Structure 1
Amino acid sequence: MSSRQEALEEYARAIDDLRTRAEGEGMTADQFEKILSESLDEVNKEMNPRVSLVKSLRKWIIRFSKLLLLCLALYAMVSCHTPTQKSLSRHIQSFIYPFMRVFRKITLPILHTYPELAEWHEEPCLIRNPLYGFRGPDCWPCENVRSVLTFTTSPENFADTYFHSGVPFVLKGHAALVNKDKIKDLYSENQKIINRSAPRISAEHMESTVYMIDDFVKIPEYNLTDVHPDAHLTWKVTRSEAARVLKKLFPLPPFMPPNTEAAIQRFIFIDGPTAPTYTIPLTDFANVWVSQAKGARLLALNSSPQCIGRCYGVSILLQEGDILFYNWQFWRSRSLPVSGATDTTITFVGSFY
């Protein structure tokens, strides 16, 4: 105990000596106390690293908790207060897509360095939110629809009348005509890209449930018309490389507004002449176009779950070269075989913002 007291006394004398020297050099008492305090903090960190770490971690947790509480309060206000929600949505709506586009461009150098991340990068959703529920639209736009409108030229008033609306229509004779040979030629010209970006085709009522694209192009035509007339194949594309390649065969619809952009996700359905009814899957964006590239299919549009009881189902015979437009917020579509058909059909499905 005496040795400790002696050490403290010697330390105090050393501090007094330093203070005297500092005053002789013109340093004020406040400056000296500040330097002394900083020096003691450094010594304390070196002597007690765990204590310093705990203090830093405690400060970080307190700051994070305050930020989290602030975010939760803002989220609760936006979620529960409808006027605030509508005001916020109206002001940020035009910034969402440009922000996501810039963010995607920023991540491209990372993808070039780590190409194996590309599959995750181009997925629309990695983790599903189990608490999310689609509220649905106001169904009044589709209440008076009794049939699908037909046009021979692209409607000039598309943006004002049909964009984000519940009114479906068919544009006759504007879809690119595509057969299996054209798909084979496209694959031959872009094998590396397609094998890397969209190599699999799922199948129903065939020998296998999954075909690699290089195996699919070797399947003879009669296999789908005579051997497996009820075959249904789905080629789903979710990566940008393959989507750009498919544009060569399946261009964007002429009525798509220039200030929007198509989703990367694309579907190509190849059906035998008696392929059974199937549901067109929901696309990334609600504005959907269906291009009938080969043959004919009957498309039935049923009212969405949110609009049942207010909107009526309609149907349209989608003939070769036709493009159907609809919005899946109001309609959910099913593809049915055409009675008496003897040929395979190819249907392309895309969407835009």
Structure 2
Amino acid sequence: MYSKISMALDNEPDLYDSLTNQVQNVRDLGRSWGLDDDQIDECVQKALMVDEKPKISRRLRRGCLCCFLVLFCFMGGMSLFFTTVTLHKATRLFVTKHTQSIAYPLMRGIRLLTLPISRTFDLRGWHEMECLVPNPLSAVGPPDCYPCQDVHNIIIFNEPVRKFTERYYNFGIPFVAKDPDRKLVHFEDLKDLYLANTATLEYNAKSLECTNSYVDSIDDILHKDRTSQDIIEANIGVKWRIIKAGSMRLIRTLSAKPYFIPHKGEVAAEMFVFIDAPASEAHLMPQTYFGNSWLTQASGSREVTLTPLPSCLQNCTEVSVVLQPKDILFYSGFFWQLKTFPFGDDISIQFLGSFF
């Protein structure tokens, strides 16, 4: 320590002598207090220590700044390029013309690069998803609640529904259509379909919610040894979501879309199957993909309550109906939230879908 001080002060002998004398005085004072030389050295070292924050080297700072500038210029250039291509027709046509030949090889190359990822992770569900990344800034404004403000009960049609498009399509007026030609679907029918097509339906096997925490898959419900009596005794309630195209086709063999849907209507690639024991808990129905929704009572009975959405509570009132086998409830998810309650002594099987 003293040698470093000496090297730094070679050109200033007077200052060096003064500092030496002061250090010696400090040592003499320490000895008068009963300290030995090691303790005095430790005190001097602690007194000379200075807390310094670690300094970032100039080279590292320049490197970070360069990386930031490169990234900023790249993002700015890409934004300018895509804006120009989007808004300027001549540029868009030019870019499209000269990139057609490389579009397929580029996409094929990306696909080959992602093969190791798809082998490691199960990404099959992404093919069926309408939206991979939701936009947090996208917000749908409150609906105009005038269509449902005059609804005080649910209309029941014993005959075929007429003028559906003009009177009910995209409106908030719910009704129940009785379809005597629709076949009943019991628990055993659903189980037989699953067991005969397990390979097709297994992807959706875990897309369910159940009131029994021990149920992890639809296979636990539709197992070959499971009986309807088991469901009744356990008071089980199940919501099973179907999204894969092949699975949808199979489910529709049991419960086809309602007859009143227009031929040009687009049915969502999503359906829900509900299996509820007579004493199962009441539960809310999920929000469907499209606003126009239908709920088919395939077997058993269930009481359904339609509650206006919060934005329509001041305009509309709550209504309810008991769905019997072969009943089809039509409603609009833009205005109503459904909740079902147990009713009757049989297992309730329901199918929920939507269309546009």
The verdict on a shared fold, with TM-score over 0.5 as the criterion, is yes
Q: Which residue of 2 aligns with 1:181?
A: 188
Q: CA RMSD in A?
A: 3.1
CA shift digits 1:233-287 (9 cap, x unpaired): 1111111111111110010100011111211111111111011210000011111
Q: What's 2:78 paired with?
A: 64
Alignment equivalent of 2:294, drawn from 289, 296, 299: 289
CA contact (8 A) 1:275 1:337 kept: yes
C-alpha distance 71-170 of structure 1, shift in aligned 2 (>3 A): farther
Instruction: Provide structure 2 residue ranges, at least 5 long, that are not aligned to the other structure.
Output: 1-69, 88-106
Q: Please state if 1:344 is matched with 2:350.
A: no
Give the 5 Å matches for 1:203-242. Answer: 203-204=210-211, 206=212, 208-213=214-219, 216-217=222-223, 218-225=225-232, 227-228=233-234, 230-242=235-247
Q: Distance in 1 between matches of 2:183 and 2:292?
A: 19
Note if contact 2:205-2:217 (Cα within 8 Å) is conserved in structure 1. Answer: no
Deviations 1:305-345 (A, max 9, x none): 2211001111111111100000010111100112xx22211
Taking a change above 3 Å as real, the CA distance of residues 65 and 133 of structure 1, as seen in their structure-2 partners, is closer
Tell me the CA shift for residue 60 of structure 1. Answer: 6.1
* 1:274 aligned partner: 279
How far off its partner does 1:66 sit? 2.9
**1:151-198: CA deviations, max 9, x gaps?**
123322001110000100000135431011111221233121112344
1:133-157 deviations in whole A, cap 9, x for unaligned? 2313211111111110111233220
Give the structure with higher Rg (CA): 2
Q: CA deviation at 1:69?
A: 6.5
Once residues 191 and 288 of structure 1 are traced to their aligned partners in structure 2, the CA distance between those partners, rounded to angstroms, is 28
Paired residue for 2:258?
253
Between the aligned residues of both structures, percent identity stands at 31
Q: Retained in 1: the 8 A contact 2:186–2:298?
A: yes
Q: Secondary structure at the match of 1:247?
A: helix
CA distance in 2, matches of 1:58, 1:130: 24
The amino acid that maps onto 2:231 is: L
Which residue is equivalent to 1:162? 168
Which stretches in structure 1 are left out of the alignment for 5+ residues? Answer: 1-55, 74-105
Query: In 2, Cα distance between the equivalents of 1:266 and 1:223?
Result: 25
Go from structure 1 to structure 2 and tell me whether the alpha carbon gap of 1:58 and 1:191 turns closer, same or farther (over 3 Å shift): closer
Amino acid at match of 1:336: F
**Is the CA contact 1:277–1:337 (under 8 Å) kept in the aligned structure 2?**
yes
The code of the aligned residue for 1:251 comes to A
Q: Secondary structure at the match of 1:145?
A: coil
Give the letter for the 2:351 counterpart: F
Contact persistence 1:200–1:213 (CA under 8 A): no
